[in-house]
Every structure is written in C-alpha cells, then in structure tokens.
C-alpha cells in the first residue's frame, strides 16, 4: 500500500461501492432489500423494496438465472452478463440463516469488464 507524504490528504477512492453495483435480495422473487450507492445510481432509489426482475432493467435475463440457481442450490456462481450494452461480471452468493442453514436470499456484485488501454 502506498504511504502518504506527511501533511498530504488522501484522495477519493476510485472503485468499490461508488462504481460497482451490489445488493442483497430475499426470496424466490429476489426482492431487493439493500443496494449500495452504485446500485442506487444505476437502478434508482425506489428499486430497494421491489423484485429485482422489475427494477434491474437493462440487465440480461441470464443474470436472473444465476440468481435463481444460487438461491436453489446454495452455492456461489458468477458469469458475464450484459447491462446497458456493456459486459459486466456478475458474482452471486447465497445468504444463509445461521440458525437453520436455510438459504433465504442472495447477495450480488457487478463489475464492468475493463477495456484494454
């Protein structure tokens, strides 16, 4: 990690929650219960509380197939999907109740494919 010079101020962080949409969904309908700032910027503040298929417009349908599979099987999965005409890496992992070991939802992360310089 790069050290700051004495008296220097840290600049803004590029990446993370500011540019990579992420969220959590519950149930077979994938109701969005949390979206980070990038998710809200991409899909709107009103997206939280609604089914992912209704609010994540522009996301290719195979993305929801990944979410369905993770919810059903309880194992993480990832694949390249389309969003807004670009390729994004979707990573989905199960949300598991620690008391019952029941998979009750998923959390996901989208990262845009970087283009060669």
pLDDT tens-digit series, residues 61-75:
999 999 999 999 999
Mean pLDDT of 80-90: 94
CA count, 13 A, side-chain hemisphere, 9? 2
Its pTM surpasses 0.75: yes
- Residue whose tokens read 């540019």: 19
CATH of domain 21-112: 3.30.450.20
Whole-angstrom Cα distance, residue 105 to residue 51? 12
Whole-angstrom Cα distance, residue 95 to residue 112? 23
Q: In the sheet that 22-26 helps form, which strands lie side by side, from edge to edge? A: 31-35, 22-26, 103-112, 86-96, 77-83
Average pLDDT across the chain, whole number: 89
Q: Strands, DSSP E only, in the chain?
A: 22-26, 31-35, 77-83, 86-96, 103-112
């Amino acid at each position: 990690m790069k050290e700051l010079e004495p008296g220097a101020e840290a600049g803004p962080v590029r990446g993370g929650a500011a540019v990579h949409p992420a969220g959590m969904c519950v149930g077979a309908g994938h109701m969005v219960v949390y979206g980070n700032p990038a998710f809200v910027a991409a899909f709107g503040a009103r997206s939280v509380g609604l089914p992912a298929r209704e609010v994540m417009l522009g996301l290719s349908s195979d993305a929801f197939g990944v979410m369905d599979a993770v919810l059903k099987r309880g194992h993480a999965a990832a694949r390249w999907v389309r969003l807004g005409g670009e390729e994004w890496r979707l990573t989905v992992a199960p949300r598991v109740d620690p008391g019952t070991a029941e998979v009750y939802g998923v959390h996901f992360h989208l990262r845009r494919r970087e283009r060669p310089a």
